Structure 1
Amino acid sequence: MMYQGFAGVYDHLMEDVPYQDWADLLDSLIIKYGNKGRKVMDLACGTGEITLLLHEKGYKMTGADLSEDMLALAIQKAEEKKMPIRFFQQDMREMEGHDLAYDAVIITCDSLNYLLEEQDVQSTFRAAAKMLNDDGLFLFDIHSIYKMKHIFTGSTFADAGDDVSLIWQCFEGEKEHSVEHELTFFVKEDDECYRRIDEFHQQRTYEIEKLILWLNHAGFEVLESFGDFKPGEISEEAERIFFAAKKTRN
């Protein structure tokens, strides 16, 4: 198997991620809150795993990501499955040129945590609101503060696979509730050669109260928040927080 840069090994890194659970949860939230529309924008869609799963559930999907390499893989997957999904290379903070109003906007897999400044999160919330129909849904998830502090900071993870090996080190970041990820991949080129790929990523999370305030300012009513795929509860040790919000009528 050949990989091209980080985008090529991303799916390997995420192979244990419960994408189907994510798609099922998003589908259930859309049904729960009575949104009959089927047009969904997947912001920061990455290589398109959730985009394609939601398409299989009958949604008319559009995906957007800042990474050209990620989008190339997403497009390839959609073409291989003959799925008519549109993909755009755009920054989720500055979405423009979409003349179709969406019934739901989603941001999954802690993509929002890559926004390191409060104003960038607020800009993304405003961009999502502009793209939605009245009463449209905004669904997203973030790493919890607990996970940043107790799971990531100071930890080292490793995985030795047949084609890709990984060393992943996490350090406390400079900003509040942030971490720095240093990832080193060794990708098998042939029987005797491995290629090294180094990646540096930064993530930051935010208090639930701040996120709710920013959502309100962007024109959303928060319907619920919960932890770790379990609607109705947020435990003290929840690692991922989910939000469901509805755009209020203008």
Structure 2
Amino acid sequence: MSYQQFAYIYDYLMKDVPYDSWVEFVQAQADKHAVSGRELLDLGCGTGELSLRLLKEGYSVTGIDLSEDMLFMAREKAENEGLQLPLYQQDMSELQGLGSFDIISIFCDSLNYLETEEKVISTFKHVREHLREDGLFLFDVHSIFKITQIFLNETFTYNDEEVSYIWDCFPGEEPNSVEHELTFFVRDDETGQYERMEELHHQRTFPILTLENWLKESGFEVMDITADFTDVPPGDLSERIFFTCKRK
């Protein structure tokens, strides 16, 4: 899945996303599990917002994304700030040739864009291959509650002078999946007219126990499962599930 035109307005729409909370999560888990190394692989790095924050906190970050447009934006940001951020275009389920890392992360529900069980399991196995001994694998996913009770059959709208959108959510073909049909209206600064853009995004999630079993089968010890940027285990109404795993 490529974000295509969406990459160019992504940051504008995501300006209120709590990237600093993900940074705090990384630091807290690294401290808790005594990971002193600072080499981090950010899978699904998007436009680099989180990668750049982690760089500024002293991590040596490499970013991976499937979207060439997203990587272009990330590269431009890093250059503008005078920061070194190696970036590569790869499918996270087919990682290769990247060396080894102390921490590998997949945040902002990027894992939910993998549409099949096979791709999720393949991602876990490739992540393990790129982790150093006792390295940490950190990721989050949408909960089943969020997919089925918050997204499905709902319409969300946003409107201001620069960007407006209509976001319709339909059931996907697979269990616990959703099709996000997005229509954007983006203002052209020169003409004052609005350009229409359309995107279709697919997300799927899996039961917590299923993910936990796949992780164990892929060579991980699951250290913590928490919810919504807290230390609390997931409940029935949790929306974002966090996994902290250590390479066996």
Which band: TM-score by shorter chain? over 0.9
Identity %: 48
Gaps of at least 5 residues in structure 2 are none
Name the TM-score, length of structure 1 as normaliser.
Answer: 0.95
Looking at structure 2, the residues matched to 30 and 13 of structure 1 have their Cα atoms a distance apart, in angstroms, of 30
Kindly state the Cα deviation for residue 233 of structure 1 after the two structures are TM-superposed.
Answer: 2.1
Three-state SS of the structure 1 residue aligned to 2:111 is: helix
Q: C-alpha distance in 1, partners of 2:71/2:192?
A: 31
Question: C-alpha displacement at 1:154, in angstroms?
Answer: 1.0
Residue 97 of structure 1 aligns to which amino acid in structure 2?
A: G
Cα separation, 2, equivalents of 1:162 and 1:78? 28
TM-score, scaled relative to structure 2: 0.96
* Matched residue, 1:116: 115
For residues 26 and 184 of structure 1, the distance between their equivalents in structure 2, rounded to whole angstroms, comes to: 34
> Aligned residues, how many?
244
- Residue 36, structure 1, aligned to residue 36, structure 2: yes
Q: Per the alignment, in what secondary structure is the counterpart of residue 243 of structure 2? A: strand
- Specify the SS of the correspondent of 2:52: helix
Question: 2: CA distance between counterparts of 1:242 and 1:96?
Answer: 25
CA distance in 1, matches of 2:66, 2:26: 22
Aligned pairs (5 A) from 1:203-222? 203-222=203-222
Deviations 1:152-180 (A, max 9, x none): 00111111122111110111111000001
What is the correspondence of 1:20-169 to structure 2 with a 5 Å cutoff? 20-99=20-99, 101-169=100-168
Cα shift at 1:22: 1.2
The residue aligned with 1:195 is 195
1:173 aligns with 2:172: yes
1:50 CA displacement: 0.6
Give the conservation status (yes or no) of the 8 Å contact 1:137–1:245: yes
Q: Which residue of 1 aligns with 2:11?
A: 11
Letter in 2 for 1:14: M
Q: Is the 8 Å Cα contact of residues 156 and 167 (structure 1) preserved in structure 2? A: yes
Deviations 1:43-74 (A, max 9, x none): 01000111011111100000000100000000
* Pairwise CA RMSD: 1.0
* 1-structure distance, mates of 2:5, 2:136: 34
Equivalent position amino acid for 2:181 in 1: E
